[in-house]
Structure 1
Amino acid sequence: MQQSDRAQAQHTKHSSPVDEWTRGYVAPGFEPVANAFASAIQAQTALGAACTIIHRGEIVVDLQGGWREKARTQAWQCDDIALVYSLTKGLTGMAAAVAVSRGLFAYDEPVADIWPEFAAHGKGSITVGEALSEQAGLAAIDHKLTLDAIGDEETICAAIARQKPNWAPGRYSGNHAYTLGWIASELIHRRDPEGRRLPCFFNEEIAGPLGADVFLGLPDSFERERIARIQGFGLQDLFIHHTTMPWPLTFKMCLPGTLAFRTLNNPLILEGPGALDCEAFWRVGQGAAGGMASARGLAALYNAFAEGGEALGVTDEVMDTLKQGHAYPSGGLKDQILTADMYYSYGFEKPFSEWEYARTRSAFGSFAVGGSLAFADPDDGVAYAWITNQLGTGKWDDPREKIVRDAFYACLEMNA
């Protein structure tokens, strides 16, 4: 039986209401996690949310709460999905890990060996690992993006290949908010024997085999009533409801010409991320921001990596590489877009001194605008996913999420 099937069977056996605010299941000894999860719903700081945590192959937390739409008439159900924004980068990192394990390309191989046009403007020495670790200096591209044409990967990838880097590659890293997905998609497309691009490769080789409700490109057959709709924020909210978003980023996002503005407002000019929650974007499967997923599905995928990657054919060498992490940029960890330190690595984010989101440095995962977080910690045997449809205005460690994660690790310590 596949791990996701075992996890589902276990949940079905033990599922029960938790309290008036939350539904789902917590294993004995993890009851404080349910209380922490419910606090955001009770305080109405989260419209809705879901959290699934697997430890050593066993589901210990599987919770849902709140509502899946602004009218607050439809409760968030256990198998509902939502747009998960930059949690998608972790899905792309998984696809790259599978591709490397199969010998399609290597992390230390120059991108231009796979994609010759990419060498323009001095980009010829950028490796696959550097590009996936957001060190290529291609965060902002001059090509004007629109939602109508955002699925035209051939045209967009040609524009990325022509692009002059925003900084000297390898010197810094910076949030490749959209471009990470297209770069990975072109690499897979050029080396996959079937010529598949990232969405098809991911759906057929990762989510499909694990039976997970995680999609790059939402199929017509998926029931739209199972989608938790996003309650976003406008740029004015970053000032009125400012929390932990760096002030320099808040201002630069509003100033045309800055790198942050050019990166984060293409294709959405000052509309805010909630505008991406639409049918046109769901269908595209944009590989850095367009994933649609349930918390259960994300946890099942990360659990495959927490258990060593064997279920997906990920080699021990690739797992060791993901656990160790990519070399830091030569100029340090300061993200040239977000204006704060961030450790990007092979499509994921890793713990570092300013953000120890897991107990061990073997962890890798991704966080998203609005507060969601998903990761695997192979050394600790943890797969974690917390998602919400009400976007917060912080960077990482959203307080609604962090209180749940802290409660989980406190329980883990007590149960050891």
Structure 2
Amino acid sequence: MQPSKSSGQPAVRQTVDRGSWTRGAVAEGFEPVAHAFSAAIQSGAALGAACTIMHRGETVVDLHGGWKDRSHESAWAADDITLVYSLTKGLTGIASAVAVSRGLFAYDEPVADIWPEFAAHGKGSVTVGEALSEQAGLAAIDFKLSLETLGDEKAICAAIARQKPNWVPGDHSGNHAYTLGWIASELIHRRDPYGRRLPQFFAEEIAGPLGVDVYLGLPDTFERDRIARIDGFGMQDLFIHHTTMPWPLTFEMCLPGTLAFRTLNNPLILEGPGALDCDEFWRIGQGAAGGMASARGLAALYNAFAEGGEKLGVTPEVMSLLTQGHRYPRKGLKDQVLTANMYYSYGFEKPFSEWEYARTSSAFGSFAVGGSLAFCDPQDSVAYAWITNKLGTGKWDDPREKLVRDAFYACLEDFS
């Protein structure tokens, strides 16, 4: 039986109810995904998690399990949201694709044509596409970030504009852990007829029309008891519980003056990413690390792209660029911050030889600190989201998430 619209019938859903371990539903033939999902919860490797996967427009996996916080008093519910860290970059990539499709700016347009101050220190030829592909050399900035200053986009963008690049733009790429969101927000703000910044543009042009629980800036009206709280890690855990994090990165994050330290510890200063899980940060709508989302919402967003982007007015030309990917940096894929290869493209990460997270190279999405992953594969008609509130200490291919993804693709092979 084909679990898709191409069969002429909707997927047959099998209810899954394993108490606090796993609840939800899977399409017939995808039962092994539920077993894989439950394994992480039952083992204690994941405090709580949720996974939604769509194929050819049908939801074939919709699971949630575990707990909202370390008290183990409240079970994770189907529509609960959590802080999704760098999955937010994909949301910013989506917003940028919509903006380009509407003619606000072009990927091959110099940033300085839109934002003249950005040209300082030799950045005048950096294109929008290069900036969104994390090649602009603006991973670390000299501006002191804190919960008090993170929401001051005007001051932060002025600092980005006058920042000397960390490397020659275009030579390398590197994880723009926070700055990617502010760069995209300033571009949208300067060209949007209504002067909106990224959080408002995303809410009104993307999340609102699709009716999804995905937020860049959590509204005061959102029920806080629907938030799964983060169980984070400290710097010592990267050594004690070391998994796939590159050792050079682990050491450099602890050494003041290194690019990794300057990028990843401003504003955290060795507190660990769990320190951002607070109401002050949820409200800001930081466009690279501050997104709040449910797995269902993320899958629905990416499904709009898996189906070609028409629901959001994304043009075929933009879809073609996203699936093909931005050109590599001149000196290769080594991330100057993370110390390992990574393929950044227009606000997303793309599959490449060392990390083929999807079956085809048309895929694009984002992974996050702690193990979460969300992406679409237009060629395969797949939209995927796996999120957790228990942060792992790996780089990518978190073993909890990968077990689920591998089970899904094994099931999908049976229908190919």
TM-score normalized with structure 2 length: 0.97
Match of 1:168 in 2: 168
Code of the aligned partner of 1:16 = T
User: 1:73 deviation in Å?
Assistant: 1.1
CA distance in 2, matches of 1:255, 1:27: 49
Match of 1:155 in 2: 155
Match of 2:182 in 1: 182
CA distance in 2, matches of 1:74, 1:149: 33
CA distance in 1, matches of 2:149, 2:179: 14
CA distance in 2, matches of 1:70, 1:184: 35
User: 1:414 deviation in Å?
Assistant: 1.1
- What are the within-5 Å matches in structure 2 for residues 50-89 of structure 1? 50-89=50-89
User: 1:167 deviation in Å?
Assistant: 0.1
Aligned-partner SS, 2:51: strand
User: 1:17 deviation in Å?
Assistant: 3.4
Code of the aligned partner of 1:407 = A
Match of 1:7 in 2: none
CA distance in 2, matches of 1:28, 1:336: 44
User: 1:78 deviation in Å?
Assistant: 0.2
- CA displacement 1:356-388 (0-9 Å, x = unmatched): 000000000000000000000000000000000
CA distance in 2, matches of 1:199, 1:281: 13
- 8 A contact 1:216–1:284 mirrored in 2: yes
Match of 1:384 in 2: 384
CA distance in 2, matches of 1:345, 1:220: 33
Match of 1:5 in 2: none
CA distance in 2, matches of 1:401, 1:153: 34
Code of the aligned partner of 1:196 = R
Match of 2:15 in 1: 16
Match of 2:373 in 1: 373
Gaps of 5+ in 2: 1-9
Match of 1:330 in 2: 330
- What are the within-5 Å matches in structure 2 for residues 5-404 of structure 1? 14=13, 16-20=15-19, 21-404=21-404
Code of the aligned partner of 1:17 = V
Match of 1:4 in 2: none
CA distance in 1, matches of 2:415, 2:119: 53
Q: Which runs of 4+ in 1 moved over 6 A?
A: none
CA distance in 2, matches of 1:407, 1:66: 20
- CA displacement 1:322-376 (0-9 Å, x = unmatched): 0000000000000000000000000000000000000000000000000000000
- 8 A contact 1:136–1:165 mirrored in 2: yes
User: 1:207 deviation in Å?
Assistant: 0.5
User: 1:15 deviation in Å?
Assistant: 7.1
CA distance in 2, matches of 1:367, 1:201: 23
- 8 A contact 2:120–2:163 mirrored in 1: yes
- 8 A contact 2:16–2:34 mirrored in 1: no
CA distance in 2, matches of 1:403, 1:32: 10
Code of the aligned partner of 1:82 = T
CA distance in 1, matches of 2:383, 2:405: 11
CA distance in 2, matches of 1:18, 1:339: 42
TM-score normalized with structure 1 length: 0.97
Aligned-partner SS, 1:415: coil
- 8 A contact 2:16–2:26 mirrored in 1: no
CA distance in 1, matches of 2:190, 2:154: 12
Code of the aligned partner of 1:388 = T
- 8 A contact 1:18–1:34 mirrored in 2: no
Percent identity of equivalent pairs: 81
- 8 A contact 1:295–1:386 mirrored in 2: yes
CA distance in 2, matches of 1:217, 1:48: 23
Code of the aligned partner of 2:318 = V
- 8 A contact 2:14–2:28 mirrored in 1: no
- 8 A contact 2:13–2:60 mirrored in 1: no
User: 1:149 deviation in Å?
Assistant: 1.4
Q: When the two structures are aligned, how many residues end up with a matched partner? A: 406
Aligned-partner SS, 1:59: strand
- 8 A contact 2:16–2:22 mirrored in 1: yes
CA distance in 1, matches of 2:415, 2:158: 53
CA 15–76 in structure 1, closer or farther in 2 if over 3 Å, else same: farther
- CA displacement 1:27-52 (0-9 Å, x = unmatched): 00000000000000010000000000
- 8 A contact 1:64–1:76 mirrored in 2: yes
Code of the aligned partner of 1:100 = V
Code of the aligned partner of 2:215 = F
